[in-house]
């Protein structure tokens, strides 16, 4: 099974850049999208005409950047799906999460809270950290109930110094603050595994987000923000992971996970 996750930074924008051809070529069984930035009716009108996929769309009645979606091949048997999480307010307020249950695992696709200016730091930082707390609690409940969990996300955090091109210069920057990085450590300490680091524990210069400024991408200078995380009992099912850095139609690249 092939799962691709991708922060497209606007699905209508990437649709103009060989998006459909990419999907037809790669033919993922499941495609997880973050930052769709489009209403469902816009998506249907302007983007999607590949008829062998179903999808789950999570958006509201006003434009918002954090929307998410999951596309899956019609031949797959989806046992359950969710895009509504009223019992976990942090999951529902900004339409950040979609989820499906398939075969022997639950797939959670999401987009973590983010902020861009120092004026936002205090309020959004604590919101972001609380979002982590809710995710850890929610994933733990699934695992304790007997489920395997695959979490794919634009985490908006670099975990370690080898996940960022310039750690020293960014040690006080958003996405690399010690208190943020500690939350990924806490997640992994709750019996979860960053699949990329499982296969490549010391590999450097692998990133998933590059600024549009200062020619960051040609120079491969930036951050690894996008992850596939699984519970430890499921790691033997993971065959491979790849950061598809040659795909340049967003400021993020897609990430591909192969499950046995």
Q: Is 226 a catalytic residue?
A: no
The region of weakest confidence among 59-63, 89-93, 167-171 is 59-63
pLDDT at 174 over 80: yes
- Give the global pTM: 0.93
The region of weakest confidence among 47-61, 71-85, 140-154, 244-258 is 47-61
- Nearest residue to 7 via CA among 208, 205, 211: 208
Domains, the chain, with CATH or none:
2-259 (3.60.10.10)
Cα gap 78→237, rounded to integer Å: 19
Q: Which of 94, 104, 137, 154 is catalytic?
A: 154
Pairing of strands 78-82, 105-111: unpaired
Cα gap 55→30, rounded to integer Å: 9
Cα gap 35→6, rounded to integer Å: 9
- Nearest residue to 28 via CA among 107, 85, 142, 91: 107
Query: In which element (H, E) is residue 69 found?
Result: strand 68-73
In this prediction, what percent of the chain has a pLDDT beyond 70? 90
pLDDT at 221 over 90: no
Q: Tokens standing for 211?
A: 């600024």
- Three-state DSSP at 55 gives strand
What mean pLDDT comes out for the span 174-184?
Answer: 93
């Amino acid at each position: 099974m092939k799962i691709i996750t991708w922060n497209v930074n606007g699905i209508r924008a990437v649709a103009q850049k060989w998006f459909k051809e990419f999907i037809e070529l790669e033919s993922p069984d499941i495609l997880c999208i973050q930052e769709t930035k489009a209403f469902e009716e816009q998506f249907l009108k302007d983007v999607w005409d590949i008829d062998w996929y179903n999808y789950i769309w999570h958006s509201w009645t006003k434009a918002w950047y954090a929307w998410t979606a999951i596309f899956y091949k019609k031949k797959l048997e989806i046992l359950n799906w969710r895009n509504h999480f009223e019992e976990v307010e942090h999951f529902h307020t900004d339409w950040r999460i979609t989820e499906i249950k398939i075969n022997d695992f639950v797939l959670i696709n999401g987009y973590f809270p983010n902020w861009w200016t120092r004026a936002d730091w205090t309020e959004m930082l604590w919101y972001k950290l609380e979002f982590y707390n809710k995710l850890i609690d929610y994933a733990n409940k699934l695992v304790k109930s007997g489920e395997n969990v695959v979490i794919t996300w634009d985490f908006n955090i670099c975990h370690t110094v080898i996940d960022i091109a310039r750690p020293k210069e960014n040690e006080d920057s958003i996405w690399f603050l010690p208190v943020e990085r500690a939350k990924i450590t806490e997640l992994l300490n709750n019996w979860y595994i960053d699949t990329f680091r499982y296969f490549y524990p010391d590999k450097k210069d692998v990133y998933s987000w590059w600024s549009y400024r200062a020619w960051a991408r040609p120079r491969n200078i930036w951050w690894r923000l996008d992850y596939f995380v699984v519970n430890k009992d499921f790691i033997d099912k993971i065959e491979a992971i790849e950061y598809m850095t040659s795909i340049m139609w967003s400021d993020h690249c897609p990430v591909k996970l192969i499950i046995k």
